[in-house]
């Protein structure tokens, strides 16, 4: 008799996975497994980083729930997914810890997640203001603009300094 009740649940979870694919580009179970595998972390640690309970993440992964209700949680998941797409080799434990701490601190805004500025970061992610500036001005001009703006507008100067730096430079 228990088998008869299992079929509607399996069918509902299949529908939920398809709805997740429509909403998020892939079932959340696939995304979560990719992230936990790439980072070598547990689902519970991922849940803490995202800002949801392990039970809620488990329900999303198993497709018992369809949607991530909190926009900030979704923004952190997307940010972490974006950062992990560029990872080619397994990260050292310290690098994973730093990445998870950065994502956990990200705050959602309407246009994109906002990550607190970090010292020593040389290459901004694609799609940032620094990346756009790099496409329209030479590094020397960006550095000069940073020096000129520095005293009055330190946050803008930092973006210009990031844009002026080039990988391997």
Q: Residue ranges of the domains in the chain? A: 8-116, 118-169
| Whether this model's pTM surpasses 0.85 | no
Q: Helix, strand or coil for residue 141? A: helix
pLDDT digits (tens, 9 = 90+) for 44-63: 999 999 999 999 999 999 99
Cα-Cα end-to-end distance for the chain: 68
CA 158 to centroid of chain Cα atoms: 22
How many CB atoms lie under 10 A from the CB of residue 21?
13
Q: Which CATH class is domain 8-116?
A: mainly alpha
H or E element: which one contains 154? helix 154-164
Of 69, 72, 85, 86, which Cα lies nearest the Cα of 23? 69
pLDDT digits (tens, 9 = 90+) for 105-120: 887 655 555 555 555 4
């Amino acid at each position: 008799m228990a088998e008869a009740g299992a079929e509607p649940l399996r069918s509902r979870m299949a529908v939920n996975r398809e709805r997740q694919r429509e909403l998020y580009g892939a079932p959340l179970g696939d995304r979560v497994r990719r992230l936990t595998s790439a980072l070598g972390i547990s689902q519970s640690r991922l849940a803490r980083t995202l800002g949801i309970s392990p039970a809620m993440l488990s329900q999303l992964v198993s497709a018992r729930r369809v949607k991530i209700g909190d926009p900030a949680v979704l923004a952190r998941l997307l940010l972490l997914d974006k950062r992990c797409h560029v990872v080619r080799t397994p990260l050292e434990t310290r690098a994973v810890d730093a990445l998870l701490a950065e994502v956990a601190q990200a705050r959602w805004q309407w246009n994109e997640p906002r990550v607190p500025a970090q010292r020593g970061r040389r290459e901004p992610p694609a799609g940032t203001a620094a990346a756009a500036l790099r496409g329209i001005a030479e590094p020397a001009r960006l550095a000069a603009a940073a020096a000129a703006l520095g005293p009055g507008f330190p946050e803008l100067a930092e973006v210009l300094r990031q844009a002026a730096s080039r990988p391997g430079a």
